[in-house]
Amino acid sequence: MKNDRLKMRYFVLFFALLILLSCKKKEPLLTNEGVITGINPCAYACVINCPCACGNFLFHFTDTGDTSNIIIDNQSIIQLPTNGKYPVRLTLDWQSTTRCGIKAIKVLNYKLL
């Protein structure tokens, strides 16, 4: 009787581990491609708490019709390679944001290409 219970516990534990190990981590959906071509070296000060182009990446989408530079509101999320060579291509998931009347994007997730 004890052996049957012990066998049943091992059987359940084995299948629980099998299920846990077979689950894959879901990859984030990256919706667009873009390129960072450098850093914008403006000579004027930015307003606190507003998206600012100065010192921000020069970024534009490469898979949409709009190739104008776009401000990345949270550029600190992007960790560039230490070699510092531009252009840097990436895929990203983002959302549109507007603060202080300035249109920008907030990067939710990205992957360097």
Residue 46 resides in a domain: yes
Residue 111 · residue 88 · CB < 8 Å: no
User: Is residue 2 left, alpha or beta, with left meaning phi > 0 and alpha meaning psi from -120 to 50?
Assistant: alpha
Structure-token pair, residue 88: 């840097």
| Average pLDDT over every residue of 6-24 | 74
Q: Is the pLDDT of residue 29 over 90?
A: no
Confidence of residue 41 (pLDDT cuts 50, 70, 90): confident
Give the global pTM: 0.67
Q: Is the peptide bond before 41 cis (omega within 30 degrees of 0)?
A: no
**DSSP three-state, residue 46:** coil
Q: Is the pLDDT of residue 43 over 80?
A: no
Confidence of residue 108 (pLDDT cuts 50, 70, 90): very high
Residue 86 resides in a domain: yes
Cα angle 75-80-81, degrees, rounded to a multiple of 5: 170
- Give the strands of the sheet with 57-61, arranged side by side: 57-61, 32-39, 88-99, 102-112
Residue 35, judged by CB atoms within 10 A of its CB (0-12, 13-18, 19+), counts as middle
Residue 2 resides in a domain: no
Residue 19 resides in a domain: no
Which residue, chain included where needed, has tokens 């202080």?
Answer: 100
Q: In whole numbers, what is the pLDDT of the chain averaged over residues?
A: 81
Residue 63 resides in a domain: yes
Residue 61 · residue 34 · CB < 8 Å: yes
Residue 22 resides in a domain: no
Among the ranges given (14-18, 22-26, 62-66, 72-76), the one the predictor scored with the smallest mean pLDDT = 22-26
Give the range of the structural domain holding residue 53, as residue numbers without chain letter.
32-112
| Total domains present in the chain | 1
